[in-house]
């Protein structure tokens, strides 16, 4: 009886230990690619894919200054998931920030536009929030309607 009880307690102890191990990052690359391609097809978009996996659509290229990955810019935007649920939105005056201070998808994507330009960034999770952050779930594809108001 003692050995059975000891075995049971040992099993419970080992089970609790395995629950405390940090979870390994999940690779969402294939899932994200399918989700983005399906979204593009469903919405009849003409998008360009970069080597990193970012997709972008230029509705208006703009005529002003073109930023670099280290520029400070003012951008008006709406961020949403492929199901249309909005998770963030600026006002029409936009929001100013350094492109080296935001997610990789913005650092790479915003320089495709010149001042006055607008379009869409379709960002796979490895260029966004990866395994999640705040209201953004792990593996989420992010879509941003963006307008580059100014390169500061």
Q: What is the pLDDT along the chain (152 residues), one digit of tens a residue?
A: 444 333 333 333 334 444 455 567 789 999 999 999 999 999 999 999 999 999 999 999 999 999 999 999 999 999 999 999 999 999 999 999 999 999 999 999 999 999 999 999 999 999 999 999 999 999 999 999 999 999 99
- Alpha-carbon distance of 147 to 152, in angstroms, equals 14
Q: What is the pTM of this model?
A: 0.84
Active site residues: 77, 87-88, 103, 129, 144
Which spans in 20-147 are helix H?
A: 29-42, 104-109
- Tokens 């395995």 sit at which residue? 18
- Alpha-carbon distance of 135 to 112, in angstroms, equals 27
């Amino acid at each position: 009886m003692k050995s059975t009880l000891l075995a049971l307690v040992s099993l419970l102890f080992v089970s609790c230990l395995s629950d405390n191990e940090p979870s390994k990052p999940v690779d969402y690359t294939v899932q994200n690619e399918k989700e983005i391609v399906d979204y593009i097809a469903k919405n009849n978009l003409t998008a360009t894919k970069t080597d990193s996996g970012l997709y972008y659509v230029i509705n208006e290229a703009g005529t002003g200054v073109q930023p670099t990955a280290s520029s400070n810019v003012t951008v008006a935007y709406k961020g949403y998931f492929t199901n249309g649920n909005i998770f963030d939105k600026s006002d029409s005056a936009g929001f100013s920030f350094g492109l080296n201070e935001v997610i990789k998808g913005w650092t790479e994507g915003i320089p495709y536009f010149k001042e006055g330009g607008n379009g869409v960034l379709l960002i796979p999770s490895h260029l966004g929030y990866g395994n999640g952050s705040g209201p953004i779930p792990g593996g989420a594809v992010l879509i941003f309607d963006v307008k580059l108001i100014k390169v500061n």
